[in-house]
Amino acid sequence: MFFKKKVELDMSNIPRHIAIIMDGNGRWAQKRGLSRTMGHREGSRTLKKIVEACYNLGVKYLTVYAFSTENWSRPKQEVDDLMNLILEYLLNAEKELKGKNVRIRVIGDRKRLPERIQKEIERVESNTRHIQGLDFVIALNYGGRQEIIDAVSCLVEDVKAGKLCEVNEQAIAERLYTHEIPDPDLLIRTSGEMRLSNFLLWQCCYTEFYFSKALWPDFDEACLREAILSYQGRQRRFGGVKC
């Protein structure tokens, strides 16, 4: 039997904000002759473990891509199953967190989500709003381009109303879904795919990327530590020069 050696990390250089594109549930299920829904359910179990791992490592913000604006084009049964899983997660969120200091936020356009999910989002956000520890951000019906369009539309209205005199980066950032959340330091995408898929397009301009070959249900704390170790080995210059 082989055991993975635990990766030793520099605890003084843990990413403040980690974003994850959770990819590979369907392929994981297909390899095992299971339904895609079973893959998504297994992926949900993985998510719970990764939230706990990030909490224990002292990560302050974790943002996960749970359902994109493009995911509506999937077969209706798969979409319905995903919505049921999301609802189940929200209903049990506080119980699953076992008293940990985790605040839950949801970003994206909620209007198209089922009414019961919208109500659960409001309930969970309200119940955890006061908590300081890990901010767990769930992107639901989220699209990076739509987020920017919404921000620009808000800018136009504010200019017309005389509330804004100058359009700059700060003015746009303040109107994004993530206006209270710092930009990601590290973005992880699983399953070997190497693209952003319309996720946090504005926010990731200086984010470090890490692409894992592991399918999301197989992604564990050891994989997370490998991603953070890779991050810790990089020099972040933000367009400048470091000697």
pLDDT digits (tens, 9 = 90+) for 11-61: 999 999 999 999 999 999 999 999 999 999 999 999 999 999 999 999 999
Q: Which of 71, 150, 183, 198 is catalytic?
A: 71
Which amino acid is present at 124?
Answer: V
Average pLDDT, the chain: 94
pLDDT reported for residue 1: 43
CA atoms within 13 A on the CB side of 88: 11
CA-closest candidate to residue 177, choices 209, 208, 137: 137
What average pLDDT does this structure show over 60-69?
98
CB-count burial class (<10 Å; 0-12, 13-18, 19+) for 159: middle
Q: How confident is the model at residue 239 (pLDDT cuts 50, 70, 90)?
A: low
pLDDT reported for residue 94: 86
Which amino acid is present at 169?
Answer: E
What average pLDDT does this structure show over 191-216?
97
What span, in angstroms and rounded, lies between the C-alpha atoms of 136 and 144?
A: 18
What average pLDDT does this structure show over 89-116?
93
Known catalytic residue at 168: no
What span, in angstroms and rounded, lies between the C-alpha atoms of 112 and 118?
A: 9
Domains of the chain by range and CATH?
14-145+182-232 (3.40.1180.10)
Q: Which of 23, 81, 135, 185 is catalytic?
A: 23
**Would you say residue 3 has pLDDT above 60?**
no
Query: If you search the block for the tokens 């005389």, which residue do you land on?
Result: 162
Beta bridge partners of 164: none
Q: How confident is the model at residue 2 (pLDDT cuts 50, 70, 90)?
A: very low
pLDDT digits (tens, 9 = 90+) for 121-138: 999 999 999 999 999 999
**Would you say residue 5 has pLDDT above 70?**
no
> Residue 42: CB partners within 8 Å, gap ≥ 6?
25, 28, 29, 217
- Phi and psi at 233, nearest 5°, equal -90, 5
pLDDT reported for residue 6: 67
CA 49 to chain centre: 14
pLDDT digits (tens, 9 = 90+) for 206-232: 999 999 999 999 999 999 999 999 999
pLDDT reported for residue 243: 54
Known catalytic residue at 158: no
Residues of the chain by 3-state class (helix, strand, coil), percent to 5: 45, 15, 40
pLDDT digits (tens, 9 = 90+) for 152-178: 999 999 999 999 888 899 999 999 999
> Residue 182: CB partners within 8 Å, gap ≥ 6?
16, 17, 61
CA-closest candidate to residue 223, choices 1, 16, 24, 67: 24
| 3-class secondary structure, 134 | strand
Task: For residue 100, count other CB atoms closer than 10 A to its CB.
Answer: 15
